[in-house]
Structure 1
């Protein structure tokens, strides 16, 4: 390592949540003189909310490399990312590769780097749901098994890794990078006041977001969810930010009109991060099956009703405001929140908006020691 030849660090992102997580790290690394962060966009997901404004909010430049792999089956996507990313590594070999989260791009780029003997760091390592029917769980397990450096967000991540024999030297707890993104954009989020645009009052409404196949692809489950949401909306306005796929399923199963016409239900299009978090931060409760929202609601001490059998973020249940719920129990969970019978969040160590700085220090120590 020298000032003349800065360490080349590839930062991999393939979907909107990835960019939210890598933005604080990119900026932290950009401010260092010993390294050069290189942004690699695999193009795994096309997202209408990944507009120029999205990148402007995050103050991110155009990616240095765009693989443009697009959608497809898990095998197609993973294979295309591997082939495209391998070419990049041959042309301009990095010194380190940083992957984040658990999408196919995460696994694909980690595999390429490992096979080329390029050190790999995994940000958000150690998360486990225990559910191997989730493609993301397989991605997490394999990525963690081949990564050289495992940055975990919480103690449960450490424990999951140690339980399968991962050497302590590879594990470093750095905290929750997603909360760095929230803090980075806090002023814009607070200024968004999204609830006002919907004619709502702070702490007087709930937010709903559902997209997982286990919930929306099953007509019976989705009908139960719609029934419970419509009923609960009689007591608390609910803003349903409908993912395009969810909206399509609602339409296919003949449920869209029932939901959109219900009193107290505000069916809206998906929002960008700033606008959406402007809505969440003032909500009374959240109903979701998303991963990241479980963390953000715990951080903000907002009751979270997660419609899933398991979660890869168990600390949000043990120490936070998150509770797992089956579709038939959603209305009962809403009533618990409204009656004040819901747990408060504990302060989780290193969930403080300063994770990026710890990641930079960790990486610099490894590079210096090499």
Structure 2
């Protein structure tokens, strides 16, 4: 059941809860649009991503206001991290008495904030509602489903998400198709994604494949990491591979010897501007990230998603994304490199991915809290 406490019994302030780098990119245009409307709002950073390269640099790059509070929860198992998040958020919401809590995406901070809000009777808005991979082995899938059931407002980024929510009994008056605020951030910073400047600064090859892998299914099993390392080495036999290494998989890839191939260049995690510049300059991208599937759709860069499913099928029907397995990765990439189009029509993009999603969300939120 969604929270149903009457708004008149509480403050009308909007609290944004963010905790991991994808949240920051999605929240930035919403916070900005609400600021333009003069909304009373604050930002709570849970500290789920706490390293400067995974957190603070994103606030600087995106012009987000300094968080009003940083709970500093840090890493841990799903249970211990979610529990710590709930304790910290309960204390914060009890103190602030927000009129509305806005959560983003599908990380543990998202579901923790939704659970705490529901138990305190605080209304919840979920940005990026209705995405489904239908793979319950993914922790993010559980987070999405629970959060949507608890949310008073569900902001959908693509049409199929509305159908998923309807199938799960979410009433239509709670659902709004608004487009993708992550694309707002991308389009608003296009002139700052300078692939040539990045190439010069960090010594990138002229042509390369960018890779980013962090999903548990890909990086938590040593044998699987060893096989993936072999595939990436096979790609590097054709074209250099540049990979910012996510902290989650660093030790495993180091043990597997990923960086031992002369055609593989490993980087520390990059800030938002540098990472998208890396993506923009790549001949193709190999990833397991949902956000990268979306960014490459708009940038027109071929994307090979190393997963059996995606909660973002619109990036396949309206973008450059294709799902691949470990076994067919090298062959699929070879085909992409042999036949990559010079350009892709800007007309074939998902509906409402036009850079104005933050404004649409802010309009609904402003009217709702009033």
Q: How does 1:27-176 map to 2 (within 5 A)?
A: 27-33=32-38, 35-50=39-54, 52-176=56-180
Question: C-alpha offsets along residues 242-288 of structure 1, whole Å, 9 cap, x if unaligned?
Answer: 12332200233xx22xx323232222222111111111112110001
Higher relative contact order (CA 8 A, sep 6+): 2
Structure 2: distance between partners of 1:311 and 1:290 = 9
Find the partner of 2:29 among 5, 24, 34: 24
Say which SS state the counterpart of residue 214 (structure 1) adopts. helix
Structure 1: distance between partners of 2:68 and 2:267 = 34
Structure 1: distance between partners of 2:171 and 2:179 = 19
Counterpart for residue 248 of structure 1: 251
Question: C-alpha offsets along residues 280-335 of structure 1, whole Å, 9 cap, x if unaligned?
Answer: 11211000111110100111111111111111111112222111111121110111
Structure 2: distance between partners of 1:133 and 1:52 = 30
Question: C-alpha offsets along residues 73-93 of structure 1, whole Å, 9 cap, x if unaligned?
Answer: 212222222222112222221
Question: C-alpha offsets along residues 36-78 of structure 1, whole Å, 9 cap, x if unaligned?
Answer: 1110111122233146543222222321122222222212222
- My pick for the range that moved more, 193-202 or 230-239, is 193-202
Q: How does 1:1-370 map to 2 (within 5 A)?
A: 7-33=12-38, 35-50=39-54, 52-190=56-194, 193-200=197-204, 204-252=207-255, 255-256=256-257, 259-340=258-339, 346-368=348-370
Contact kept, 8 Å, 1:192 with 1:274, in 2: the verdict is no
Say which SS state the counterpart of residue 194 (structure 2) adopts. helix
Deviation of 1:195 after TM superposition, in Å, equals: 2.4
Question: C-alpha offsets along residues 147-175 of structure 1, whole Å, 9 cap, x if unaligned?
Answer: 00000000111111111221111110111
Normalised TM-score (structure 1) = 0.91
Structure 1: distance between partners of 2:365 and 2:243 = 40
Structure 2: distance between partners of 1:67 and 1:140 = 22
Per the alignment, do residues 341 and 189 of structure 1 end up closer, same or farther by CA in structure 2, a change over 3 Å counting? closer
- My pick for the range that moved more, 181-190 or 129-138, is 181-190
Count of matched residue pairs: 358
Per the alignment, do residues 188 and 61 of structure 1 end up closer, same or farther by CA in structure 2, a change over 3 Å counting? same
Structure 1: distance between partners of 2:35 and 2:196 = 28
Per the alignment, do residues 332 and 152 of structure 1 end up closer, same or farther by CA in structure 2, a change over 3 Å counting? same
Name stretches of at least 5 consecutive residues in structure 2 with no aligned partner. 1-9
Normalised TM-score (structure 2) = 0.91
